Structure 1
């Protein structure tokens, strides 16, 4: 076994260990058996642009909730499909966005909200069971009902190409800085965007979505606005409470969606965490390369060691993935393709953000 082969194997083993360090845990809200009588009136605000094909599951899940003390405000962001008709068919109040973009729509909804608590939901989310909303509200109440409680919904995957999102899903969570072995040692990068719960007073104190209008990563910016006013930001996983299905329209939408946010969002990740993420991603390629090279050269000792590392990477990626979504285990023996897709889209996103200074999303060109 040559020195280079030993180095590659050592890097692969270290990368697996680093993976455990950066994604040590993903807490979820503890379910409460308490009654909902002590909870305040809630305003649910859903910004929507051309969400006619994705809005129904969310509104249906809200109708099925046992907790009923809420209003639903769907803020239409100049949709050209049947978004408004779908929202109205479920009895939601529909507002028209006065500006353009998600932050403007959320601010419009907040201004018309009657509730003392505000829940901002992406249109592609939905509650998993009839007590999901109540459990979410009780958990926030248990945290003192201050600041932000944000959940990253559990990713529901239906079609094969959607598995290409798995590494993005993992790194979105890792990139928040607070799920490492060190816990809260690093300050959170912000908040998750699909599900944000806060009280009205804290929201207005922070400046809300009005303050961050124009930001591409509105979720990270809103969380930072709260932190700037010494308000807590709690980030957790949504498994068992809320789910989402990302980019069901096809592969092009998936690439466009991740390209829009990833290069910008990665700037909020702590440099130490970012360095370890890069090492973990690089380790996936080094381990794969070592195995392929050893098979070509028929080097039995290296085949054994690199094969063990390949299996460890397969199991680790599958383990992480099951925390964030219902990804099928059968795809993970091909994990190098997942990492390769992630790397390609990230490079493309970096080019668009830092060279072209623009990204595209839902028919709009967004300057950055």
Structure 2
């Protein structure tokens, strides 16, 4: 592969990334925000939920109410929520025609009374000033704010999510998503006014969508409500898959293929372009290493440059360590295998699964 082409593929990563989208610290004060309702869908989240509820207790801007929707949990999710004083809504059965998360979020909304709605996944963790900062940004843009959280990892298998998070971050910071108003939005953290949410029909309008956050973002944009997505960096984090390797595989299989086709063509093309350079340099470098024929050619140089890029930009996205960015051929092959499986499950088998639920592509919870 031509060295010039490799350079263009590599530099694409820097062109898509925007440091302006990093949440750093509180930038302004919020005056009279109204009542803030926090809505948390939770299914078997007894280990994650205490981290979130502890962080909500310590917010500089206190929520008016915290609603936890127990989405058919078989653990102590409800008991933990009650212990923290949250309102608990039990969601034993998913209505036909709905996906589980959208149904749970909608049930929580129906019980809420706040002027500002804050939707949080149960694995999210917040710094004390996070909600105040996000509500300030929402008021500044007069639209919808979502956050792609910093990915906190502990075990090695979790760190294999580096490329899913890296490519996700580049998607949300891509200038094309903003210019083309695709409504790219991360549902892990979402802040909007009650009026804006009701105007588009809320999650009831995307009830059958597997990747409901991207669909919801498009609806906001179509209704004239701007959507801005930030990277959580120092204020908002999550630990996505603490329950084991298979939960990670299942989660990314559910979302990757559909999510890729929900973004703009220019962004998707550039992401593929960037990844092809990463994969090709990794394959050539690794094969030469096995053959004992390593030499300082343009593949070796760009293998090193891709490593530096993953280390330099990756620190804003998650704590993925040093080993996997250096040996990036392994997370590259892992990402590609999950992506191809996601395409197969979504477009050929027509069914995906998540947390012991089979979800047909029509979105009917089973």
The alignment covers a number of residue pairs equal to 355
Aligned residue number for residue 228 of structure 1: 222
How far apart in 2 are the matches of 1:79 and 1:294?
50
Instruction: Measure how far apart 1:233 and its partner are.
Output: 0.7
Compared CA separation, residues 192 and 238, structure 1 to 2 (3 A): same
Pair 1:116-2:110 in alignment: no
Secondary structure at the aligned position of 2:137 is classed as: helix
How far apart in 1 are the matches of 2:26 and 2:326?
38
* Contact 2:177-2:184 within 8 A present in 1 as well: no
Aligned residue number for residue 3 of structure 1: none
When structure 1 is superposed on structure 2, of 260-269 and 12-21 the one drifting more is 12-21
Instruction: Measure how far apart 1:174 and its partner are.
Output: 2.5
- Give the root-mean-square deviation of aligned CA atoms: 2.0
Secondary structure at the aligned position of 2:109 is classed as: helix
How far apart in 2 are the matches of 1:37 and 1:298?
65
Aligned residue number for residue 198 of structure 2: 204
How far apart in 2 are the matches of 1:91 and 1:289?
53
Instruction: Measure how far apart 1:241 and its partner are.
Output: 1.5
Aligned residue number for residue 166 of structure 1: 162
How far apart in 2 are the matches of 1:272 and 1:64?
41
Secondary structure at the aligned position of 1:324 is classed as: coil
Aligned residue number for residue 327 of structure 1: 320
Secondary structure at the aligned position of 1:167 is classed as: helix
Secondary structure at the aligned position of 1:236 is classed as: strand
Aligned residue number for residue 89 of structure 2: 95
Secondary structure at the aligned position of 2:229 is classed as: strand
How far apart in 2 are the matches of 1:119 and 1:307?
47
Compared CA separation, residues 139 and 29, structure 1 to 2 (3 A): farther
What TM-score results when the alignment is normalised by the length of structure 1?
0.90
How far apart in 1 are the matches of 2:277 and 2:232?
29
When structure 1 is superposed on structure 2, of 216-225 and 181-190 the one drifting more is 181-190
How far apart in 1 are the matches of 2:322 and 2:292?
30
Aligned residue number for residue 134 of structure 1: 132
How far apart in 2 are the matches of 1:83 and 1:249?
15
Aligned residue number for residue 105 of structure 1: 104
What TM-score results when the alignment is normalised by the length of structure 2?
0.91
Pair 1:359-2:352 in alignment: yes
When structure 1 is superposed on structure 2, of 62-71 and 347-356 the one drifting more is 62-71
Pairs within 5 Å for 1:251-266: 251-266=245-260
How far apart in 2 are the matches of 1:61 and 1:297?
51
Gaps of 5+ in 2: 95-99, 362-366
When structure 1 is superposed on structure 2, of 25-34 and 338-347 the one drifting more is 25-34
Pair 1:249-2:243 in alignment: yes
Aligned residue number for residue 125 of structure 1: 124
How far apart in 2 are the matches of 1:318 and 1:88?
41
When structure 1 is superposed on structure 2, of 179-188 and 152-161 the one drifting more is 179-188
Aligned residue number for residue 60 of structure 2: 66
* 1:150 aligned to which of 146, 154, 172: 146
